[in-house]
Amino acid sequence: MRTTSCARLAHEAVEDRGCHLFTVLGVAGVGKSRLVDEFVAGVGDAAAVATGRCLAYGSGITYWPVAEALRSGIVSAEVADADQPELGLAALLRGEPDAERLGAAVGSLLGMSAGTHDQEELFWAVREAFEAMARRRPLVLVLDDIHWGEPTFLDLVEHIADWTRDAPILLIAMARLELLEARPLWGNGRRRATTVRLEALSESLDHRVAQALAPGPIDDATYAEAYRMAGIFNFDIPAMHSNGKYEAKQTS
């Protein structure tokens, strides 16, 4: 089970007190999100979870997923005053070297300050902030749709993976195969990096899996329509059941 692989890598990150980059590649609808969601749901209180998603379009979105992850991570790490972003950030960084400088750089990404900072400063500050979270409790950092990420954002992800020290972080990056067009050597040469590629099942095998998971029979016509809509791993089998029968219902 690939979720077992995630758990093993999380354990290794805790043992090494470093960052392990785990990349999940696959076409749309193959089940990347479901795999990661299942793992994250099983983490429980053993780790904090920070999540961010790249946007397909827009201006000024280079650091958008990082800002999302910082906000959610501050809450998940149970930092004091996490419901008030400025106070939560200050509590997270309290006691860190250069806390004021860190707060100014990270705060600029979170819209808390109007200061400008160069790329090197922002990379350093973001990594230090995630390290501060992970020193409180092991951190699972999930970044989705990174194939849409700007080159600077991808550089930042690699920076976190390469330079994190004394902080257990499992960095899960989800992407379509287009990521390898922009970064053909993604993950290569890193001691703590693993990449898995999810492949779609054949329709006949998918059907057998669906029937095995379902509490009742799914007629061929309904299954064929659901498979056409999304593929078995992009719809919820129990949610298809209503009034004693199954109906094709796509889920997000």
Does pLDDT of 224 surpass 70? no
Same domain, 56 and 76: yes
Same domain, 137 and 213: no
For residue 77, give the CATH number of its domain: 3.40.50.300
Same domain, 27 and 84: yes
Same domain, 62 and 30: yes
Looking at per-residue pLDDT, the higher value among 81 and 173 belongs to 173
Rounded to an integer, the average pLDDT of 230-243 is 46
Cα–Cα nearest to 10, from 26, 22, 24: 22
Q: How far apart are CA 203 and CA 207, in angstroms?
A: 6
Which pLDDT belongs to residue 45?
84
pLDDT-above-90 percentage for the chain: 49
Mean pLDDT, the chain, rounded, equals 81
Q: Is residue 179 part of a domain?
A: yes
Highest mean pLDDT pick, 50-54, 95-99, 220-224: 50-54
Same domain, 38 and 115: yes
Q: Is residue 8 part of a domain?
A: yes
Q: How far apart are CA 2 and CA 34, in angstroms?
A: 11
pLDDT level of residue 248 (50, 70, 90 thresholds): very low
Q: Which residues contact 141 (CB under 8 A, 6 or more apart)?
A: 50, 51, 69, 73, 130, 160, 169, 170, 171, 172
Rounded to an integer, the average pLDDT of 230-244 is 46
Which pLDDT belongs to residue 242?
46
Same domain, 26 and 149: yes
Rounded to an integer, the average pLDDT of 159-184 is 95
pTM, two decimal places: 0.78
Domain that holds residue 221: 203-246
Same domain, 72 and 171: yes
Tell the burial category of 13 from Cβ atoms under 10 Å away from its Cβ (0-12, 13-18, 19+).
buried
Asked if residues 251 and 239 have their Cβ atoms less than 8 Å apart, the reply is yes
Same domain, 59 and 173: yes
Instruction: Read off the pLDDT of residues 91-149 as tens digits, 9 standing for 90 and up.
Output: 999 999 999 999 999 999 998 887 889 999 999 999 999 999 999 999 999 999 999 99
Rounded to an integer, the average pLDDT of 19-42 is 90
Place of tokens 């659901």: 226
Q: Is residue 251 part of a domain?
A: no
Cα–Cα nearest to 124, from 179, 151, 162: 162
Does pLDDT of 190 surpass 90? no
Same domain, 145 and 230: no
Looking at per-residue pLDDT, the higher value among 16 and 190 belongs to 190
Same domain, 13 and 48: yes
Which pLDDT belongs to residue 96?
92
Which pLDDT belongs to residue 236?
47
Rounded to an integer, the average pLDDT of 217-233 is 57
Q: Is residue 252 part of a domain?
A: no
pLDDT level of residue 42 (50, 70, 90 thresholds): confident
* Cβ atoms within 10 Å of 216's Cβ, excluding its own: 9
Rounded to an integer, the average pLDDT of 234-245 is 46
Asked if residues 199 and 30 have their Cβ atoms less than 8 Å apart, the reply is yes
Split into its structural domains, the chain has a count of: 2
Same domain, 131 and 239: no
What is the DSSP annotation of the chain?
A: -HHHHHHHHHHHHHHHTSEEEEEEE--TTSSHHHHHHHHHHHHGGGSEEEEEE--SS-SS-TTHHHHHHHHHHHHHTT-TTTTSHHHHHHHHHTTSTTHHHHHHHHHHHTTS------HHHHHHHHHHHHHHHHHHS-EEEEEE-GGGS-HHHHHHHHHHHHH--SS-EEEEEEE-TTHHHH-TTTTTT-TTEEEEE--PPPHHHHHHHHHHHSSS---HHHHHHHHHHT-GGGS-TGGGEETTEE------
Same domain, 156 and 226: no
Strands 245-246 and 139-144, sheet pairing: unpaired
